[in-house]
């Protein structure tokens, strides 16, 4: 009874391209069904009043988590199918990139959700909101610093997986004095701008929501980024 199916699976194992196509199709189908399932549960919970309307796990986290799980499952493919060494090496690189950057995306979204949840508790809309705007300015700036750190760490971990980049890193460490001197001169202006942004966020000569006069035109501080301020 099961012999035709076993023969079909054996044929897939012999052809890694066919196996990969079937595997990708199965993952895509499961992903779509899982998204619909989670979205339906969320809609039911929102209607019953047990889930906040402003937050959707399906929209916020699902794609990143799904990419991580798919990349994790792709690690097992070479154990089930006979692949050429070049294809296995390429697949290993793809899965490694998927794991690193999808996990970084999850952390970025977690930082954003935590910041949004905290800011939502602040009553910035009230009339006397100076304290709330001070806190909001600091929190948003810290979130941007955390985002930059997550991105740099993810890129660093990914690049260190390549022998050529590891050799470059070792050579830079061996000549740390010269490298730091060159980088110091090259990044002097950018670092100065970054430090200035940090001072603005924490000493707060201006805050989010402040009215300012720029070139004889009134505007409102909408956003304070790492190296610049947005006035609307």
Average pLDDT, the chain: 72
pLDDT in tens, 170-225: 554 555 454 454 555 444 555 556 666 666 666 666 667 777 767 777 777 777 66
What pLDDT is recorded for position 141? 79
What whole-number distance in Å separates Cα of residue 39 and Cα of residue 31? 12
pLDDT in tens, 88-107: 777 788 888 888 898 999 89
Does residue 101 contact residue 158 with C-beta atoms inside 8 Å? Answer: yes
Ordered by start, the domain boundaries in the chain are: 1-121, 133-232
Long-range contacts of 7-16 (CB under 8 A, 24+ apart): 12/81, 13/80, 13/81, 13/82, 14/82, 16/81, 16/82, 16/83, 16/84, 16/87
Strongest mean pLDDT among 23-32, 41-50, 99-108: 99-108
What pLDDT is recorded for position 199? 63
pTM for this prediction: 0.66
User: Which residue has better confidence, 178 or 29?
Assistant: 29
Strands 211-214 and 229-231: unpaired
List % helix, strand, coil for the chain (3-state, nearest 5). Answer: 75, 5, 20
What pLDDT is recorded for position 223? 73
Query: What end-to-end distance do the CA atoms of the chain give, in Å?
Result: 71
Distances in Å between the Cα of 82 and the Cα atoms of 20, 95, 209 are 11, 17, 61
Q: Using the 8-state DSSP alphabet, how is residue 222 labeled?
A: E
* Count of other CB atoms within 10 angstroms of residue 25: 10
- DSSP three-state, residue 219: strand
């Amino acid at each position: 009874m099961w012999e035709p199916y076993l023969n079909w699976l054996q044929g897939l194992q012999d052809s890694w391209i066919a196996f990969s196509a079937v595997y990708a199709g199965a993952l895509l189908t499961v992903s779509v069904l899982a998204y619909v399932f989670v979205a339906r549960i969320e809609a039911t919970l929102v209607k019953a009043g047990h889930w906040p309307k402003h937050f959707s796990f399906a929209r916020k986290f699902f794609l990143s988590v799904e990419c991580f799980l798919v990349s994790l499952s792709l690690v097992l493919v070479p154990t089930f199918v006979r692949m050429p060494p070049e294809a296995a090496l390429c697949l290993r690189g793809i899965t490694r990139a998927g794991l690193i950057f999808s996990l970084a995306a999850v952390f970025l979204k977690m930082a954003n959700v935590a910041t949004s949840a905290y800011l939502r508790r602040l009553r910035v809309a009230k009339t006397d909101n100076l304290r709330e705007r001070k806190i909001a300015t600091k929190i948003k700036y810290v979130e941007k610093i955390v985002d930059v750190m997550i991105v740099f760490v993810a890129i660093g971990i990914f690049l260190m997986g390549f022998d050529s980049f590891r050799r470059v890193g070792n050579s830079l460490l061996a000549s740390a004095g010269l490298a730091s001197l060159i980088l110091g001169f090259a990044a002097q202006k950018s670092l100065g701008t970054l430090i200035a942004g940090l001072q603005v966020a924490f000493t707060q000569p201006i805050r989010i929501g402040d009215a300012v006069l720029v070139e004889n035109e009134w505007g409102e501080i909408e956003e304070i980024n790492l190296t610049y301020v947005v006035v609307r």
